[in-house]
Amino acid sequence: MIRFEFSKIAIEDFDNQFSTENGCLEFLANEKWKEGYSCKKCGNKNYCTGKTKFSRRCTKCKHDESATAHTMFHRCKIPVNDAFKMVYEVCSLPGISIADLSEKLKIRHMTCWKLKKKIMECLKESQNATL
């Protein structure tokens, strides 16, 4: 679980770090493995570079864990930076309508609706998201 206090980040800082896919994936990987890497399958601590950007592959059982695995961005249908942007928007304004989100982010209504639902489930008391 990654706790990230979106509401404390200024929009300029947010855009600097999270406007690209790389920035988002790097953030997720750093947060996810900040206590050190440990393979989810066998517990091995050694890894090499995995298939996808910022993913890690276990040197023992070859299990490949992507940066988004076990986060709310796993199997997300839109680019991860668009999804981050939506989390930011929803954290800043939980009452934002689907129409406004769709308009702002240029993402289809249905996609916005599904993702917002997911985000709302991650939002705990206060405006911090557990991704």
**Closest to Zn ion by CB, 60 or 70:** 60
Minimum CB separation of residue 8 from Zn ion in Å reads 36
Residue in 14, 53, 55, 63 binding Zn ion, rule: CB under 5 A: 63
Give yes or no for residue 11 binding Zn ion (CB under 5 A). Answer: no
Q: d(Cα 31, Cα 100) in Å, to the nearest integer?
A: 30
Which residues on neighbouring strands pair with residue 3, listed in sequence order? Answer: 130
Give yes or no for residue 44 binding Zn ion (CB under 5 A). Answer: yes
Residue in 3, 8, 41, 108 binding Zn ion, rule: CB under 5 A: 41
**Element holding 116 (H helix, E strand):** helix 109-122
* Part in contact with Zn ion (CB under 5 A); list of ranges 17-25, 53-61, 86-94, 95-103: 53-61
Residue in 1, 11, 42, 93 binding Zn ion, rule: CB under 5 A: 42
Give yes or no for residue 29 binding Zn ion (CB under 5 A). Answer: no
How many Cα neighbours within 13 Å face the side chain of 27?
Answer: 20
Residue-by-residue DSSP string for 38-93: --TTT----EEE-SSTT-EEETTT--EE-TTTTSTTTT-SS-HHHHHHHHHHHHH-
Minimum CB separation of residue 46 from Zn ion in Å reads 9
